[in-house]
Amino acid sequence: MPEPSDRWAIFLDIDGTLVAIARTPQMVQVEPDLLPLLEQLRQGVGGALAVVSGRRLADIDRLLAPLHLPAAGLHGRERRRADGTLIESGGPEGIIAPLRPLLTAYAEARPGLLLEDKRGSLALHYRLAPAYGASVTRLARRLAAEEPQLRVIFGRKVAEFQPRGSDKGAAIAAFLEEPPFAGRRPIYAGDDATDEDGFATVNRLGGLSIKVLNDERHARSTQARFQLRSVTALHRWLAAMAGARSPEHRLTREGTAALDDAFS
C-alpha cells in the first residue's frame, strides 16, 4: 500500500546522480524527462524536495530551469529555503583568496587541468588529465595541512577547496528543521565521496541513503545503505516513487540487483 506523501523528504545530488558525469561541469546534459519527473516528485511530497550539490545555486537554477527548487549549493555553504530565503554559512573567506593565483598557475602549467572558481570554493578537476591525479592529491593535502581552516573535498577526479564550517549533511539537517521538510523521513541520493556527509546524516535520522554507482567498483566503503547501478536506475526508482510505490521495497529489489551487477 502506498505510504502517505507527507512522510518523506527527498534530497538529491546533481552530477553523477540526476545527470551523467561529463568531461567538464559545463558539458552536462539534462535528460528531457528529468524536469517533469522532479516536478511530479515535488508535488507528490508537498514541496519537500531539495537539491544538495557542489554547484553554486546560480548554476543549479540554470541547469534545472524553469524549476526553482529549495537547494543547497557549494556542499552546503549556501542554501535556499523553501520560502526563498537565502542563507550563507559562515567561514573564513580569506583563506580562499590566496589560493586563487596559486591554483591558477598550477593548472595553467599542466595541460588538461581545469580550475573551476565558484567564488566560495575552488575546484581543481583532473578528469581530462588523470595522470595528474596523484600530484593534485598531494598538493591538496599539503595545503590543507598548512591551513587548519581549509577543507579539501575529494570527489570524482576533483579536489575542491573551501573554508570549513559546512557540508551536505549539515545542509540536509537544516532543511529538516523547516517546513515543508520538518517531521519527515529523509531520502538522500548521491554518487561520490562528497556525498558521504549526507549519507551519514540521513542514516542517523533513520532515512534512506542511496549511492549511485555509475562506473564505480569500490562502493562497499560507502556509508550509503542502498546502491543503484546508474543515473538511469535512479530515474526509474524516482519514477516508481512518484507513482506512490513503497520506497523501501523498490530499493531492496533494485539495490540488490545493482550490487550483483557491480561486484559479480
Per-residue pLDDT reduced to its tens digit, 127-157: 999 999 999 999 999 999 999 889 898 988 8
Instruction: Give Dmax (Cα) for the chain.
Output: 59
Query: pLDDT-derived band of residue 259, with 50, 70 and 90 as boundaries?
Result: very low
Do both 103 and 226 map to the same domain? no
By C-alpha distance, which of 258, 251, 263, 249 is closest to 230? Answer: 258
Do both 243 and 117 map to the same domain? no
Establish whether 13 is a catalytic residue: yes
Looking at 113, 144, 163, the residue that finishes a domain is: 163
Looking at 163, 195, 218, the residue that finishes a domain is: 163
Q: Say whether pLDDT at 3 is over 80.
A: no
Residue corresponding to grid cell 573551501: 162
pLDDT digit string, tens, across residues 76-125: 989 999 999 999 775 556 788 899 999 999 999 999 999 988 887 899 99
Q: What is the DSSP letter of 26?
A: G
> What is the C-alpha end-to-end distance of the chain, expressed in Å?
33
The CATH number covering residue 109 comes to: 3.30.70.1020
Task: Say what the pTM is.
Answer: 0.83
Number of domains in the chain: 2
Looking at 163, 183, 202, the residue that finishes a domain is: 163
Residue corresponding to grid cell 591525479: 133
Domain extent, residue 109, equals 93-163
Q: Are 236 and 31 in contact (CB under 8 A)?
A: no
Do both 132 and 202 map to the same domain? no
